[in-house]
Structure 1
Amino acid sequence: MSRKIRMGMVGGGRGAFIGGVHRIAAAIDQQIELVCGAFSSNPEKSRLSGEDFFLPADRVYGSYEEMITKEKELPEGERMDFVSIVTPNHVHFGPAKMALENGFHVVCDKPVTFNVEEAQILKKLVEETGLIFALTHNYTGYPMVKQARVMVENGDIGKVRKVVVEYPQGWLATKVEDTDQKQASWRVDPAKSGMGGAMGDIGTHAENLAEYITGLKITEVCAELTSFVEGRRLDDDANILLRLEGGAKGVLHCSQIAVGEENGLNIRIWGETGGLEWHQQEPNTLQVKSLEGPTVHYRTGVGSLSDAATAAQRVPAGHPEGYLEAFANIYKNFATCVRARLEGTEPDELSKDFPSIEDGLRGMIFVEKVVENSRGNEKWTKL
């Protein structure tokens, strides 16, 4: 099939942050092209955004309903192949459901939906249609994260005993939402964000990273959520004890009131014979520790790494493998699987490595149970 995979976008118009990230990431490997979009719930803003992206006027739509309906009417060689959803949380479910029902594959920003019930409906739809669904937990796209996962899987640190994962930010240390800051206003609004504030926004990234690297599912939580900023309706800080499969224990904390912090997603994992440590703000390095030997620093682009880490590398050693490249790895793998589906072939195993609807549902269950536990009197709540 000698053409690019065609993407339609919902959201991500003028003034949006994450839409630009998705468009850049999708374009990095030159496997995907943006062909249409409903870039805003405001039809005029959507039209102007389409002009910014040099799209034909008849492929810029005033709503996602119109886009999916009109695109389905186009010939197969012309219509979009998948929908990328880059809206606030409360506008994930509608376009994802309609896209799946009309035969389009889906890429969706996280968390996957507004609540667990919606995620369960999408999971059932994905299973029934057989369509491909990717969730952009982008931190799983880093080469050293993939290296860590392979090392745990291979038993290089022995049976996992303890996981400590954290995601501190400081940008909501004051009531920024009162200044009409767009990114803040919807994230602290339970009608748009859902039941979790910092928990849904960044806590789900920490949860997903812990499960992705260890291969262990979180089974129980003991949580305390806090809204430190007076008048804020959703949590801006979370401290959670974890129990994982196989008897491993963990600690997860995330915060958006940690003054001076940027995007401090970090994870440490200890097994019976060794440990691993990775910091998102220093993404090229994975620290590997052992009982008796020295700590070894694995570096992107240096030495012999796993096939998964090597496949995710994009630049020579010494150049940071960054946020956009990690995002692009999800789009690249997703596009490879869509292309294989269109060609009637089977993609290789490495290309199937991207977060799925199952990860999305687990994330929503995690948020729901953490909130439930924090509000209740039970010490532990099962997932």
Structure 2
Amino acid sequence: MNRKLRMGMIGGGKDAFIGAIHRLASNMDGLIELAAGALSINPDIARESGEMLFLPKDRSYLTYDELIKKESELPADKRIDFVTIVTPNFAHFAPAMMALEHGFHVVIEKPIAFTLAEAKLLKAKVEETGLILCLTHTYSGYPMVKQAKAMVSEGVLGKIRKVWVEYPQGWLSKLSEREGNAQAAWRTDPTKSGKSGCMGDIGTHAAHLAEYITGLQITQMCAALNILVDGRALDDDGNVLLKFSNGAAGVLMASQVAAGEENALRIRVYGEKGGVEWAQHEPNTLLVKWLDQPTQILRAGSNYPWLSSFTKNSCRTPGGHPEGYLEAFANIYRNFAQTLGAKIDGTTPSKEALDFPSVEDGIRGMAFIDNVVASSQSDKKWFDHIVE
């Protein structure tokens, strides 16, 4: 590629946290530029946001369908290459499908859609068009998460037996959705968030991380979802027992009422020979625990010869310089951009560039939401994790 990829953003206006994160992450490697946007369903906010981001007036649109239609009519050397969708859950499917139908690649916030049926329609459209869909499961972008995955796939730990993954937050410990917190309001509203609150929002991150690192698939679950704040419409806490495709056992905990916790995502994976432990609060560190040796501490940014190519490809700074959420997000955008650039050039992307969440991860995420809710409502001890 001898130019930057042109991005159109849907949602993510001036008051939206995640839109700013996407813009920072997409810009970090200089491979992408924001060329157009439909930044809010509120026309005034859409206009103001476009002005704040210095978008040309004729490419700051008031609706996503206007953006997609008008951009598709522009010459190939002017129109956007892809759209990034950073709207609430209920507004994912329609713009994603319309973008694919008009020939645009898609980056989309998780969950991929509002229902599993919608996710399957997107998968069918991606397969029909040959376009790329990238799902921003951010935590898979951390270097030491990739190192953990590499060690598991190389058999260093032996056969995986046990997975513990937890994602406690405390920000919904009060009924914040009734106190003017816009983020809390839509995330706890079944008409905007979907059939699950906590498990749909952060439980899906935990489930994806467990499958990403282990290379295994969740096959069965026994779930208990809870509403612990009186007056709330969706689950704000939950616990899930898991079984994996190789027979491994797992425990997944997610809570948004763990008072005092921030985004305390943590995973431990144990095999026959040893285990690995990673926590987002200390993302540059991977603990490797051995059955017959002292625990090792692996650090991102260090030039260890045994770090995987995927890990090294995702490290951005020398050892001792912290890399966090923005850098992990940027790694997903960079891999997507390199893959899309190779597609445009007719070349083959590297295996490292292809390492980003796709429509398949979106399908599994929506199935997880469906099945964890069904399991929680069922009298059966074990509920099959049905995807197709």
TM-score by length of 1: 0.99
Partner of 1:251: 251
Partner of 1:184: 184
Amino acid in the other structure paired with 2:106: V
Partner of 1:268: 268
* 1:100 alignment partner, SS class: helix
Query: Percent identity of the aligned residues?
Result: 59
Correspondence 1:360 to 2:355: no
Partner of 2:382: 380
Partner of 1:340: 342
Give runs of ≥4 in structure 1 deviating > 3 Å. Answer: none
Q: What is the distance in 1 between the residues matched to 2:183 and 2:58?
A: 30
* 1:242 alignment partner, SS class: strand
Partner of 2:230: 230
Partner of 1:162: 162
Amino acid in the other structure paired with 2:175: K
Partner of 1:318: 320
Amino acid in the other structure paired with 1:336: Q
What is the Cα-based RMSD across aligned positions, in Å? 0.6
Partner of 2:141: 141
Please point out which of 330, 333, 338 is paired with 1:331.
333
Matched pairs, number:
383
The alpha-carbon deviation at position 358 of structure 1 amounts to: 0.3
* 1:351 alignment partner, SS class: coil
Q: Residues 44-73 of structure 1, C-alpha deviation per residue, up to 9 Å, x if partnerless? A: 211110000001000000100000000000
Partner of 2:112: 112
Q: What is the distance in 1 between the residues matched to 2:372 and 2:272?
A: 28
The alpha-carbon deviation at position 264 of structure 1 amounts to: 0.5
Q: What is the distance in 2 between the residues matched to 1:245 and 1:231?
A: 38
Correspondence 1:308 to 2:310: yes
Q: What is the distance in 2 between the residues matched to 1:323 and 1:315?
A: 14
Partner of 1:285: 285
The alpha-carbon deviation at position 15 of structure 1 amounts to: 0.7
Partner of 1:68: 68
5+ residue gaps, structure 2, are none
Q: Residues 88-110 of structure 1, C-alpha deviation per residue, up to 9 Å, x if partnerless? A: 00000010000001100000000
Amino acid in the other structure paired with 1:145: V
- 1:191-210 to structure 2, matched below 5 A, reads 191-210=191-210
* 1:177 alignment partner, SS class: helix
Q: What is the distance in 1 between the residues matched to 2:354 and 2:57?
A: 35
5+ residue gaps, structure 1, are none
The alpha-carbon deviation at position 344 of structure 1 amounts to: 1.0
* 2:144 alignment partner, SS class: helix
Partner of 2:153: 153
Q: Residues 124-162 of structure 1, C-alpha deviation per residue, up to 9 Å, x if partnerless? A: 111111100000001000000000000000011100000
Q: What is the distance in 2 between the residues matched to 1:178 and 1:227?
A: 16
* 1:246 alignment partner, SS class: coil
Amino acid in the other structure paired with 1:345: T
The alpha-carbon deviation at position 301 of structure 1 amounts to: 1.3
TM-score by length of 2: 0.98
Amino acid in the other structure paired with 1:31: L
The alpha-carbon deviation at position 260 of structure 1 amounts to: 0.6
Q: Residues 11-60 of structure 1, C-alpha deviation per residue, up to 9 Å, x if partnerless? A: 00021000000000000000000000000011221111000000100000
The alpha-carbon deviation at position 379 of structure 1 amounts to: 1.1
Partner of 2:27: 27
Partner of 2:53: 53
* 1:79 alignment partner, SS class: coil
The alpha-carbon deviation at position 341 of structure 1 amounts to: 1.1
The alpha-carbon deviation at position 111 of structure 1 amounts to: 0.7
* 1:146 alignment partner, SS class: helix
Amino acid in the other structure paired with 2:52: D
* 1:283 alignment partner, SS class: coil
Q: What is the distance in 2 between the residues matched to 1:221 and 1:61?
A: 44
Q: Residues 68-95 of structure 1, C-alpha deviation per residue, up to 9 Å, x if partnerless? A: 0000000000000000000000000010
Partner of 1:215: 215
- 1:2-41 to structure 2, matched below 5 A, reads 2-41=2-41
* 2:318 alignment partner, SS class: coil
* 1:352 alignment partner, SS class: coil
